[in-house]
Amino acid sequence: MNPPPLVRDLIRATSRQAVLWRKEDLLLYEYDALSALRQPEAVVFPTSTQEVVRVIRVAARHGLPVIPRGAGTGLSGGATVAERGIVVGFSRMNKMIEIDLENQRARVQPGVVNLDLSAAVSDAGYYFAPDPSSQKACTVGGNVAENSGGPHTLAYGVTTNHVLGLEVVLPDGNVVHTGAKFWDRPGYDLTGLLVGSEGTLGIVTEITVRLSRLPEAVNTLVAIYDRVSDATQTVAAITARGITPAALEMMDGFTLRAVEAATHAGYPTDSAAVLLIEVEGLREAVEEQTKTIEAVCREHSAREIRRARSAEERALLWKGRKNAFGALGRIAPNYYVQDGVIPRTRLPEMLEYTAEVEKKYGLRIGNIFHAGDGNLHPLIMFDARDPSQCDRVSRAAKDLMVKCVEMGGSITGEHGVGVEKNELMPLLFSDDDLAMLRRIKEVFNPSGLLNPGKVLPTGKICGELRVLASVGA
């Protein structure tokens, strides 16, 4: 079969080996880690900024949108095709262009895997602090698009706190540079604007990031509780003591049992909840803070507190936490993970409400979250072959997000908006707010060439309904 004109143009812009266009080759690119929408017209894998520019110009000539894609580990449909378009995959733009340890900087292409960057500098005593649970697979470019977080967000912030500069291809094919290797470059903070814009303003082709020093000492604790409420109250009590752990995670008993069956990480299967707490820094300070945290946990009825006795034991505990989504995926044919944020002082109230939603809709919900910064990840389990369950999951998910906003929180903490939650944006933003966001988008992307249908409401259909309908299709 001869390739169509679009494909021939893309081959000329890159190479024959860089373009996929047959139906069977495009199946994978309907999906991200959760959502499934439509097949693209083609997928192209550029190897340089210049090739990205040429692809953008081909897309414009054919009147087709461009959808940037990293590793496809996103959880909101941000790298999927909403209507039609060309997917630009960055797996071949995976070079670490410059490692500048003296200035604690690195310059990388967007396809560099998150954990690979830390591994490349670890022997010199450095690492890249953002650590999403998918860090073994997700890319730095994808982290930039979604402003990804992770378990250590509490102490170190999200991706935007570690990005200093970007090289970006705009929809007209122009290449611009924002930020610099140093802090506080004069002018508007375009880097901050672009991080988290989900590929709707420009396509990032190079990223300058800040590297962090590995801590002198690390203590990892597991606090075990017989009541979920005691665990949630401990979270607020720890921060009230003026201590900011590097990580403060929570899993409920249902989730723990699934994790232990899958990972054998050493979590207690007879508990109602655990807190996974990590303290980093200078040795003396870490020991002092650890003792204070242990005391707070006991004051709030922790039945037992364990310290990881080795780096291997610590790594295993984190393996269990970071593989929790997959562990719950062994229990039901499908799950739908939510990503809301609330003030951490309201965690007990939110978990009570989650239990009410679970009962109301007859669904099983596992609770895993970054408790320290109030970032919730309730996982709703269901069977997509049952239309009734799909409908109940969608309504349950919306109830949870509405509650988060009512509590003074947000509809997303780190997974992005994508197509999943764009129709929920009016919960957070007024009409005037949304109009301003649209005007900003029109400045960068006036023709709508880049990643259409993402982030801002379209009014077509609730994003959650669209995502769940595609899962069940």
Model pLDDT, residue 59: 98
Residues 6 or more apart in contact with residue 116 via CB below 8 angstroms = none
Residues 6 or more apart in contact with residue 187 via CB below 8 angstroms = none
Q: Is domain 332-415 classified as CATH 3.30.479.30?
A: no
Residues of the chain with CATH 3.30.70.2190: 217-317
Q: Would strands 126-127 and 212-213 be described as parallel, antiparallel, or unpaired?
A: antiparallel
The tens-digit pLDDT sequence of the chain (473 residues) is 789 999 999 999 999 999 999 999 999 999 898 777 799 999 999 999 999 999 999 999 999 999 999 999 999 999 999 989 999 999 999 999 999 999 999 999 999 999 999 999 999 999 999 999 999 999 999 999 999 999 999 999 999 999 999 999 999 999 999 998 877 778 899 999 999 999 999 999 999 999 999 999 999 999 999 999 999 999 999 989 989 999 999 999 999 999 999 999 999 999 999 999 999 999 999 999 999 999 999 999 999 999 999 999 999 999 999 999 889 889 999 999 999 999 999 999 999 999 999 999 999 999 999 999 999 999 999 999 999 999 999 999 999 999 999 999 999 999 999 999 999 999 999 999 999 999 999 999 999 999 999 999 987 655 554 555 444 43
Task: Tokens for 328, please give them.
Answer: 């719950």
Model pLDDT, residue 467: 52
Fold of 5-89: 3.30.43
Burial class of residue 94, CB neighbours in 10 A (0-12, 13-18, 19+): middle
DSSP E strands, 72-216: 86-89, 96-100, 105-108, 126-127, 163-169, 175-179, 203-210, 212-213
Report the distance separating Cα 362 and Cα 156, nearest Å: 38
Model pLDDT, residue 473: 35
What is the number of alpha carbons within 13 Å of residue 441 lying toward its C-beta? 22
Model pLDDT, residue 184: 74
Residues 6 or more apart in contact with residue 429 via CB below 8 angstroms = 437
CATH code of domain 96-213: 3.30.465.10
The SS3 call for residue 456 is: coil
Model pLDDT, residue 408: 96
Report the distance separating Cα 87 and Cα 89, nearest Å: 6
Model pLDDT, residue 40: 97
CATH code of domain 217-317: 3.30.70.2190
DSSP E strands, 26-135: 42-44, 66-69, 86-89, 96-100, 105-108, 126-127
Residues of the chain with CATH 3.30.70.2740: 332-415
The SS3 call for residue 426 is: helix
- Contact 331/260 with Cβ under 8 angstroms? no
Burial class of residue 16, CB neighbours in 10 A (0-12, 13-18, 19+): exposed
Query: H helices of 129-248, where?
Result: 140-146, 153-156, 190-194, 228-240
Report residue 287 CA to chain centroid gap.
31
Closest by alpha carbon to 155, among 99, 239, 216? 239
Q: Name residue, tokens 């999906």.
A: 31
Chain length of the chain: 473
Closest by alpha carbon to 139, among 96, 177, 182? 96
Task: Tokens for 57, please give them.
Answer: 């110009």
Query: Integer distance in angstroms from the first to the last C-alpha of the chain?
Result: 29
Report the distance separating Cα 141 and Cα 420, nearest Å: 20
Sheet holding 163-169, edge to edge: 96-100, 105-108, 203-210, 163-169, 175-179
Report the distance separating Cα 45 and Cα 10, nearest Å: 10
Q: Name residue, tokens 């090739």.
A: 51
Closest by alpha carbon to 314, among 269, 266, 349? 266
Residues of the chain with CATH 3.30.43.10: 5-89
Sheet holding 42-44, edge to edge: 19-20, 42-44, 86-89, 66-69
Closest by alpha carbon to 237, among 350, 404, 371, 122? 371
Report the distance separating Cα 243 and Cα 240, nearest Å: 7
Residues of the chain with CATH 3.30.465.10: 96-213
Q: Name residue, tokens 């249902």.
A: 254
